[in-house]
Amino acid sequence: MENFTKLTGIAAPLPLINVDTDMLIPKQFLKTIKRTGLGVNLFHEMRYDDDGNEIADFVLNKPAYRNAEILVAGDNFGCGSSREHAPWALLDFGIRCVIAPGFADIFYNNCFKNGILPIALPQEEVDKLMDDAERGANATISVDLETQTISGPDGGEIKFEVDPFRKHCLLNGLDDIGLTLEKAASIDSFEAKAAQERPWV
C-alpha cells in the first residue's frame, strides 16, 4: 500500500449528503476482485448517460476536476452496503483523501485499509473547504497527515483528528498484510519451534 504523508492536490466539491456505496460504484461492476480498473466506473450513474457519454456538468467530468485527488463531500459519505470496491474505485480514479462531516463506519474503516485518508470535520469547516473547492483550477488544498492539518488556497489552516494507530499505518503504507509482515521474524521463529516440538503437525 502506498504511504500517505502529505498530499497537495485539486479538491473536487460534491455537496451531496448520503452518498452511498452504490452511487460510488454500482453493483454491476462488483464482479472483479482486482483493485485496479474501477476508477472509470466511479460515480458511473452520475458521470455517464444511458449511452455511455459523459455528463458534462458532473463535477469529475469538468476539466478543472479531472485530476482531483481530494473530495470534499456531504455528511454520511459511504453509507449503504459494505463493498470494499468503493474505496478501490476512488483510489483508482486518483482520490487519496475524502473530507466530510461524517462517514459510514464500514466505508471509513475500508478507506484506511486501502490508503485513503477520510477526514471528518464539523460542518462549518467542511463548508469552508467546499467553498475553496468550488474555485475550480485554483482549488488546491494541502493535507498533512504528520501535523494533522489542512491548508487552503488562501493559507488558512484547519486541524483534524485521526486515530494514532491508523495514522501510523497510513504514514508507513501498512495494510493488514503489511502489519502482519512486520512480525515476519517472530512468525518464522514460532513456526520453526513448532515444527521441532510437533513434527507430526
The domains of the chain are located at 6-175
Q: What is the pLDDT of residues 150-166, one digit of tens each?
A: 999 888 899 999 999 99
User: In this model, does residue 178 exceed pLDDT 90?
Assistant: no
Q: Write the DSSP assignment of 98-153 as a string of letters.
A: EEES-B-HHHHHHHHHTT-EEEE--HHHHHHHHHHHTTGGG-EEEEETTTTEEE-T
Which residues make Cβ contacts (< 8 Å) with residue 184, sequence separation at least 6? none
pLDDT single digits (tens) 101-126? 999 999 999 999 999 999 999 999 99
Residues 6+ apart with CB under 8 A from 172: 3, 178
Contacts of residue 112, defined as CB under 8 A and 6 or more positions apart, other chains included, come to 118, 166, 169, 170
pTM comes to: 0.89
Q: Compute the distance between CA of residue 108 and CA of residue 120 in angstroms, rounded to an integer.
A: 10
Q: How far apart are CA 54 and CA 57, in angstroms?
A: 9
pLDDT band, very low/low/confident/very high, at 36 (cuts 50, 70, 90): confident
Q: Rounded distance, CA 166 to CA 163, Å?
A: 5
CATH homologous superfamily for 6-175? Aconitase, domain 4 (3.20.19.10)
Whether the predicted pLDDT of 181 surpasses 70: no
Residue 141's beta-bridge partner residues?
A: 9
| Position 179 pLDDT exceeds 80 | no
pLDDT of residue 33: 82
Within 10 angstroms of residue 175's Cβ, the number of other Cβ atoms is 15
Distance CA 22, CA 35 (A): 17
pLDDT at position 182 is: 64
